[in-house]
């Protein structure tokens, strides 16, 4: 036993000191949103990553304006791709980097297969360490915008600030007191909150006919977000073998935990997760909408044709020369960040 040999009085003193420290730490702060550790992240390993890794800037050349408060995150697997679209990654690179460059956002490209979780968990769960890493690598970023690979940004002129990150944007797009569909469709029996304090929103996701889809969502740097990521990658969830693993894990947390709902803004589907016309599971992209998500497209034979159709409908934009050059000379950062290469464990 650890306690053997310690005088009882000393043990008691230790307990009091620890309890007092805990009390001060947890109750003497102004709000949930204020990080316990100020702007510092909770453990020394994350601190080491910060020291070791220079913020990985891929979009700071030729900036029209510098914001840096958003980091876009795209993760892809070396081998996987959508069937029949050979240049998918290059198209996505061009599209997202042009957007990031236009609005002054950072962009992190991650090789999702190079993240290995301790117990060999399936690769979709790697989304969580990728997000954790993004918060560490981009200490200036207030928001992380996760985008699955199969998304085209259609409206380049609409910044995330105007679209959803400002209180006006949140108000315009929020689904308030509306029914939520169960994962995969059908009634869930639960609803989005009636009221929400926009300053307290740490997570933003579309709610649609299919339920909520973690292919496109935003997360704000906060203590809440650190907790959420930690709890999301839960062995009990992983062992469920859900059909939509990390998606259903998210939905589970949203459904059963008021503290998750209280800090989550559900948007209408088309704000963040409009589908192409051939997808029967939800609202379809309309001209002017921000982006289009080809969810589940990889296995659909109509996918390449539909992808190209929407690709041609995207807002006409000029790709900066340095991006064209990088694509041409093979230095585009697609799948650039590889966990394990120069990175200590988080």
Ligand X SMILES: *[C@@H]1O[C@H](CO)[C@@H](O)[C@H](O)[C@H]1NC(C)=O
**Interface with ligand X by CB under 6 A: which range of 50-58, 110-118, 264-272, 297-305?**
110-118
Q: Does 155 interact with ligand X (rule: CB under 6 A)?
A: yes
| Alpha carbons 144 and 65: distance in angstroms, whole number | 18
Contact between 335 and ligand X (CB under 6 A)? yes
**C-alpha to C-alpha distances, 103 to 96, 107, 196, 230, 314, nearest whole angstrom:** 11, 11, 27, 30, 17
Q: Residues 41, 72, 326, 337: which binds ligand X (CB under 6 A)?
A: 326
| Residues linked to residue 208 through DSSP beta bridges, in sequence order | 211
Given 262, 268, 283, 298, the residue binding ligand X (CB under 6 A): 262
User: Of 207, 194, 284, whose CA–CA distance to 250 is shortest?
Assistant: 207
- Helices marked H in the chain: 8-27, 44-52, 88-103, 127-137, 160, 167-173, 223-232, 235-238, 245-256, 258-261, 269-272, 303-313, 321-329
Considering the complex, state which of residue 235 and residue 258 has its C-beta at the smaller distance from ligand X: 258
Q: How many residues bind ligand X (CB under 6 A)?
A: 21
Query: Smallest Cα–Cα separation from 310: which of 330, 333, 327, 287?
Result: 287
Total residues belonging to the chain:
346
How far apart CA 36 and CA 42 sit, in angstroms, is: 8
For residue 218, the minimal CB distance to ligand X (Å) is 17
Compose the 276-305 pattern: x for residues touching ligand X by CB under 6 A, - for all others. Answer: -----------xx-----------------
342 binds ligand X (CB under 6 A): no
Nearer to ligand X, 106 or 289 (CB): 289
Q: According to the binding rule CB under 6 A, does residue 16 interact with ligand X?
A: no
The Cβ-side half-sphere exposure at 339, using a 13 Å CA radius, reads 22
Can residue 166 be called a binding residue for ligand X (CB under 6 A)? no
The answer to whether residue 57 forms part of the interface with ligand X (CB under 6 A) is no
Judged by the rule CB under 6 A, the positions of this chain that interact with ligand X are 78, 111, 113-114, 155, 157-158, 258-259, 262, 287-288, 315-316, 322, 325-326, 329, 331, 335, 338
């Amino acid at each position: 036993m650890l306690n053997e040999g310690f005088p009882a009085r000393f043990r008691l003193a230790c307990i009091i000191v620890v309890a007092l420290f805990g009390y001060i730490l947890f109750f003497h702060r102004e709000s949930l949103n204020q990080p316990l550790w100020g702007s510092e992240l909770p453990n020394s390993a994350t601190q080491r990553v910060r020291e070791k890794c220079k913020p990985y800037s891929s979009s700071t050349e030729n900036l029209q304006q510098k914001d840096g408060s958003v980091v876009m995150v795209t993760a892809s697997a070396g081998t996987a791709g959508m069937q029949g679209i050979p240049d998918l990654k290059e198209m996505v690179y061009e599209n997202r980097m042009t957007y990031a460059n236009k609005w002054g956002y950072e962009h992190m490209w991650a090789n999702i297969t190079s993240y290995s979780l301790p117990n060999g968990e399936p690769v979709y769960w790697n989304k969580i360490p990728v997000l954790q890493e993004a918060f560490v690598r981009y200490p200036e970023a207030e928001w992380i915008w996760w985008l699955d690979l199969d998304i085209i940004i259609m409206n380049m002129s609409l910044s995330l600030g105007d679209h959803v990150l400002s209180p006006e944007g949140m108000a315009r797009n929020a689904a308030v007191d509306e029914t939520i569909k169960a994962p995969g469709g059908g009634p869930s029996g639960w609803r989005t909150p009636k009221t929400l304090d926009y300053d307290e929103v740490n997570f933003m996701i579309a709610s649609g006919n299919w339920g909520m889809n973690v292919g496109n969502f935003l997360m704000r740097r906060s203590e809440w977000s650190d907790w959420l990521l930690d709890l999301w990658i839960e062995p009990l969830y992983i062992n469920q073998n859900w059909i939509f693993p990390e998606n259903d894990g998210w939905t589970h947390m949203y459904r059963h935990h008021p503290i998750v709902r209280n800090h989550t803004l559900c948007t209408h589907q088309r704000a963040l997760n409009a589908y192409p016309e051939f997808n029967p599971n939800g609202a379809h992209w309309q001209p002017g909408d921000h982006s289009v998500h080809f969810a589940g497209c990889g296995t659909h034979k109509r996918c390449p044709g539909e992808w190209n159709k929407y690709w041609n409908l995207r807002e006409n934009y000029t790709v900066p020369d340095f991006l064209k050059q990088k694509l041409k000379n093979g230095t585009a950062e697609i799948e650039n960040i590889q966990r394990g290469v120069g990175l200590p464990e988080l």
